[in-house]
Structure 1
């Protein structure tokens, strides 16, 4: 007998309960007694915590849906491949958790409010290659995470953190949109790379054409092959450039980190993407020091220890435990000393 297999009614009950708790814990009138009851429910079975986490991820799509408050049964038109669970309970719970749609679930799909497919991927200390439900292929760099939702009128990816290379399945009537920070990259079918660290984003186009917007409001700026768009969250417009060495940005696909005559101020965000504790600069003069080299992305921690051997810097520790790079300044020349 397989004790790991559960009957559908039991799965549905857990999903409905997870949806209820997600709704209540996000309500303004949630009480302390309810919070204690939720903690007891979550601790009672490992499946409870797993299903509640899935509900939280679906909750993040709430801003895409109408705000009317009627609870209805959701019956999606398709049955896509789930993330280690059936889509039907998740979709039902989504309708309950989000307090709703004014129409039945299938109308939610028809109107473009609800996705018919949801996928979530994370890469830890190994790169991953994944396939989305629309046929697109994605390579995930180390410590990267993304979510994919397939709507009737568009395919939507959120790059939560890290870096991803996309080979998008062509569909002119079904745009593919990657959201990172407040910006987005819109395509119908092409190959491109998106890098995200904290509030910084860089988009590198390899083949085809994309529209990049830094704030999600303007129409975007079109990139051609070899072009890059960079922005920080909150920037009104991205910074565009045509780069001859744009392939350095894709070296991670072969496990390499390429630093080609970058200032430390430019290099640190790229390096810190691979570190548990980020490097910091002591001052502006330290940030102006330039660095070059090719490093293994799985061994970037070793790079930190070698920096004092190849650059005029020394390392110190700040109060929060982070490593600080300090510029070793050259002593004044004798001529300058005699002048004084």
Structure 2
């Protein structure tokens, strides 16, 4: 978004202000008066919200970067390339809160020299990252790519993605998903995420999977036809073998395949595509099994049809979620 009615100086002032507000709103001593002033600034011009959103994305990406002691570095005039214009200033002022020139942050390994943000809403989307890697995004998926001096990093914010990573042994490729990460140099693999659950399927090459980014080491190694899964609180991922009939990648053809799964296991796969998650009333309902092949674009219609194919009926809880309830079985007549 741009506004041709603004001068370069006015545009730069908005960018500086957005960086300032990004820092203050993340500060522990931010006051209620400051938050009110921020809301007033945000409403003053449509470009304010656009610039602040860009700052917030950069803050999220830089959240795990080191925070060195403040230093004074002479400012250097550089001509940035898109999207460096906004990012260079934001990273220097917002992400590190230091007057670093963009190239200094890159050389020190604190700041990326490329930043990309991708979303897929109603269609599967194929994108090419700045390093040449290919990624297919499933419906309702979002990721951010950043290229650092010593590694390439993707943060999968939600959904599912299939990666074909360009090989570079000196420049590892790291995918962050929930609390864990997947580290590779060049390979093909799939990452599925729903809430705090993550599953990684390796197709080609090898990857290292850890369930908690704060734990030491690079994680457990997967070979082809292996998968790892983890969720919040797992110390190490669970490793298993995949087989020829594995349907984890059916989404690449627009399908969700449920192979005689208990509803407790099937719902995370289904709910990934629903605006309002489907729930089960109790353990006995969750044990009911479901199978079939479904179009991922039509899963919203599945909820209403389940009572026609399973021994269940639908209610809604106080939060408005549809809830599946098992139909009590009639005792046999004597």
TM over 0.5, shorter chain: yes
**Counterpart for residue 285 of structure 1:** 284
Contact 1:184 1:212 in 2 (8 A): yes
CA shift for structure 1 position 26: 2.0
2:128 maps to 1:131:
yes
CA distance in 2, matches of 1:181, 1:194: 11
Query: 1:224-261 CA deviation, whole Å, 9 max, x = no partner?
Result: 22211111022111111112156411111111111011
Is the CA contact 1:21–1:38 (under 8 Å) kept in the aligned structure 2?
yes
Equivalent in the alignment of 1:262: 261
Is 1:73–1:95's contact at 8 Å kept on the other side of the alignment? no
What does 1:35-184 correspond to in 2, within 5 Å? Answer: 35-60=35-60, 61-70=62-71, 79=80, 81-82=82-83, 87-101=84-98, 104-184=101-181
Extract unaligned runs of 5+ from structure 2. none
Contact 2:3 2:47 in 1 (8 A): no
Structure 2 match to 1:338 = none
In 2, the alpha carbon distance for the partners of 1:99 and 1:279 equals: 41
CA contact (8 A) 2:67 2:96 kept: no
Deviations 1:193-222 (A, max 9, x none): 101000000111111111111112243111
Distance 1:154-1:315 versus aligned 2 partners, 3 A rule: same
Instruction: Pick closer, same or farther for the CA change 1:165–1:246 going to 2, 3 Å.
Output: farther
Q: Which residue of 1 aligns with 2:271?
A: 272
Q: Is the 2:183–2:218 Cα contact (8 Å) retained in structure 1?
A: no
Listed as ranges, the matches of 1:230-269 within 5 Å are 230-245=229-244, 247-269=246-268
Unaligned 5+ segments in structure 1 are: 336-340
Partner of 1:193, secondary structure, is strand
Query: Could you say which residue in structure 1 is the equivalent of 2:15?
Result: 15
Q: How many residues align?
A: 330
Q: Is the 8 A contact 1:228 1:246 kept in 2?
A: no
CA shift for structure 1 position 328:
1.6
The offset of 1:4, in angstroms, is: 3.7
After superposition, the CA RMSD in angstroms is 2.2
Shift of 1:71: 6.7
TM-score normalised by length of structure 1: 0.90
Structure 1 residue 33, shift from structure 2 partner: 2.9
Give a deviation string over 1:249-293, Cα, whole Å, max 9, x none.
111111111101111110000000011111111111111111110
Contact 1:115 1:152 survives alignment (8 Å): yes
More divergent stretch after superposition (35-44 vs 115-124):
35-44
Q: Is the 8 A contact 1:212 1:223 kept in 2?
A: yes
CA gap 1:73/1:29 in 2 versus in 1, 3 angstroms: farther
Return the alpha-carbon distance in structure 1 between the equivalents of residues 324 and 21 of structure 2.
46
Shift in Å, 1:81: 4.2
Alpha-carbon distance change, 7 to 225 in structure 1, aligned in 2, over 3 angstroms: farther
Q: Distance in 1 between matches of 2:308 and 2:75?
A: 62
Distance 1:143 1:235 in 2: 26
Once residues 180 and 195 of structure 1 are traced to their aligned partners in structure 2, the CA distance between those partners, rounded to angstroms, is 9
Question: Normalised by the size of structure 2, how large is the TM-score?
Answer: 0.92
Report what 1:26 is aligned to.
26
For 1:303 and 1:76, the matched residues in 2 are separated by 57
- Determine if contact 2:92/2:101 at 8 Å carries over to the other structure: no
Residue aligned with 1:265, SS: helix
Contact 2:92–2:99 at 8 Å: present in 1 too?
A: no
